[in-house]
Structure 1
């Protein structure tokens, strides 16, 4: 048995999103393919086609869950599912045939799919991890150091694996960046697991060399993107004061249902989500 942690980001442009989020969804190996198949079937059932067919690229969460989507979804009462799917497919196939009814159907379908996808993840035993960082948080002065949000994500994934029977191994699966950025991140991750004491300890259960995949071809990276977006715009932990979008509240609850949590034998709570105020590693003299 092994677990894969699918990792994606939201708000990295440091411009529009209230928080920069690094998120990961862990899935047991034997459940990955059944979950992917069910997500694919859900797209066909809800949209009338695969999202990749509709958009020719990854359907980013910012397109599926932005404010305009919720405004359009609410302009009419909920549309009956069969009719909604037909109207959604029609507008996806030919955007020039937009109508109030078709636009409403598409918006309602987008929200329905995101909620259904998160529910499927829960049904397959997914465990969610995330860090939330304010856009003004101090950052490492160079690319030589692994940011604290990454090390925290690895730490919590390790805690999760370490609490399971049989010492299952964990794999890291990243959304592929451009080649230069991917090489930089690969070097940072390798250095963390090889040169730091915590990293060496965690490499007992986490394979230090990550995989990089194309997000538009990887269903579970797309799912992680949805979770990261919901966290950035809708979830607020203690000392997170940026306004949250109220219409995302049901999706926030869906995300919280898969958040990793464990109570240790010593009575301490270990949580999968954390708000980080400073991204610099502890050894940079703070």
Structure 2
């Protein structure tokens, strides 16, 4: 048995998002294909077609859950599912056939699908981890050391794996960056797992060499993107001061349902955490 950790991020442009989020969604190997197939069926149910067929690329959460989506969704009362699916498909197939009812149907379908996708992942035993970082957080200079948000993500993934029966292995699946950025990240991850004490400990259960995939072809990276976006805009932990978008509450609640939780007699560790400084600690520096 093994677990895949699908990793994606939101707010890295440091322009509009209130918090920079690095999220991971862990799915057991025996659940992967079943979950992917059911997510594909869910897209057919909500949109009458698969999202990649509609957009020709990954349907980013930034488009699925932006403010305009919620504005359009609220234009009319909830549309019955069968009619909503037909109207959503019509506007996806021909964007020139715009009407108020079609726009409303598509928006309502987007919100319903995102919430359902997260609940479906939970029903398959998936667990989520995320770091949330203020946009003004100190950041490391260019170096070979891994940023603290990645180290925290790996720490919690290791804690999760270590708590499972038979100590299953975990592997990392990243949304592919441009080739040079992927090489930099690969070198940092490799250095962390091989040259630092914490990394060597965690490499007992986490395979140190990650896989890079095209997010527009990988369903579960898209689900991780939904988690990252909804947390950035809608979840506020203690002492987080940026305003949250209240309309995102149902999707955020579904994302919270996926959150990893680890309890001991003296401490509870949560999968979602706030990090105020991205510079690596001394223990992370090789």
Do 1:24 and 1:224's aligned partners in 2 also have CA atoms closer than 8 Å?
Answer: yes
Q: Which moved more, 1:141-150 or 1:116-125?
A: 141-150
Which deviations, in whole Å up to 9, do the C-alpha atoms of 1:101-124 show, x marking residues without a partner? 000000000000000100100100
Do 1:261 and 1:270's aligned partners in 2 also have CA atoms closer than 8 Å?
Answer: yes
For residue 272 of structure 2, what is the aligned residue in structure 1?
273
Do 1:143 and 1:184's aligned partners in 2 also have CA atoms closer than 8 Å?
Answer: no
For residue 74 of structure 2, what is the aligned residue in structure 1?
74
Task: Tell me how far 1:137 sits from its aligned partner.
Answer: 0.4
Structure 2 unpaired stretches of 5+ = none
- Tell me the TM-score normalized by structure 1: 0.98
- Please give the alpha-carbon distance, in whole angstroms, between the structure 1 residues aligned to 2:130 and 2:252: 13
Counterpart secondary structure, 1:97: coil
- Please give the alpha-carbon distance, in whole angstroms, between the structure 2 residues aligned to 1:211 and 1:274: 25
Task: Tell me, yes or no, if structure 1 residue 101 matches structure 2 residue 88.
Answer: no
Alignment of 1:195-214 (within 5 A): 195-214=195-214
Structure 1 unpaired stretches of 5+ = none
For residue 6 of structure 2, what is the aligned residue in structure 1?
6
Task: Tell me how far 1:237 sits from its aligned partner.
Answer: 0.3
- Please give the alpha-carbon distance, in whole angstroms, between the structure 1 residues aligned to 2:16 and 2:116: 27
Counterpart secondary structure, 2:236: coil
Task: Tell me, yes or no, if structure 1 residue 262 matches structure 2 residue 262.
Answer: yes
For residue 246 of structure 1, what is the aligned residue in structure 2?
246
Task: Tell me how far 1:239 sits from its aligned partner.
Answer: 1.3
Task: Tell me, yes or no, if structure 1 residue 282 matches structure 2 residue 281.
Answer: yes
Task: Tell me how far 1:55 sits from its aligned partner.
Answer: 0.3
Alignment of 1:113-128 (within 5 A): 113-128=113-128
For residue 176 of structure 1, what is the aligned residue in structure 2?
176
- Please give the alpha-carbon distance, in whole angstroms, between the structure 2 residues aligned to 1:131 and 1:101: 38
For residue 159 of structure 1, what is the aligned residue in structure 2?
159
- Please give the alpha-carbon distance, in whole angstroms, between the structure 2 residues aligned to 1:116 and 1:267: 35
- Please give the alpha-carbon distance, in whole angstroms, between the structure 1 residues aligned to 2:95 and 2:35: 30
Counterpart secondary structure, 2:96: helix
Post-superposition, which runs of at least 4 consecutive aligned residues in structure 1 deviate over 2 A? Answer: none
Which deviations, in whole Å up to 9, do the C-alpha atoms of 1:227-254 show, x marking residues without a partner? 0000000000011100000001111110
For residue 192 of structure 1, what is the aligned residue in structure 2?
192
For residue 52 of structure 1, what is the aligned residue in structure 2?
52
Task: Tell me how far 1:268 sits from its aligned partner.
Answer: 1.4
CA RMSD of superposed structures (Å)? 0.8
Number of residue pairs the alignment of both structures matches: 283
- Tell me the TM-score normalized by structure 2: 0.98
Which deviations, in whole Å up to 9, do the C-alpha atoms of 1:174-203 show, x marking residues without a partner? 000000000000000000000000000000
Q: Which moved more, 1:120-129 or 1:139-148?
A: 139-148
For residue 137 of structure 1, what is the aligned residue in structure 2?
137
Task: Tell me how far 1:143 sits from its aligned partner.
Answer: 3.0
For residue 21 of structure 2, what is the aligned residue in structure 1?
21
Task: Tell me how far 1:144 sits from its aligned partner.
Answer: 1.6
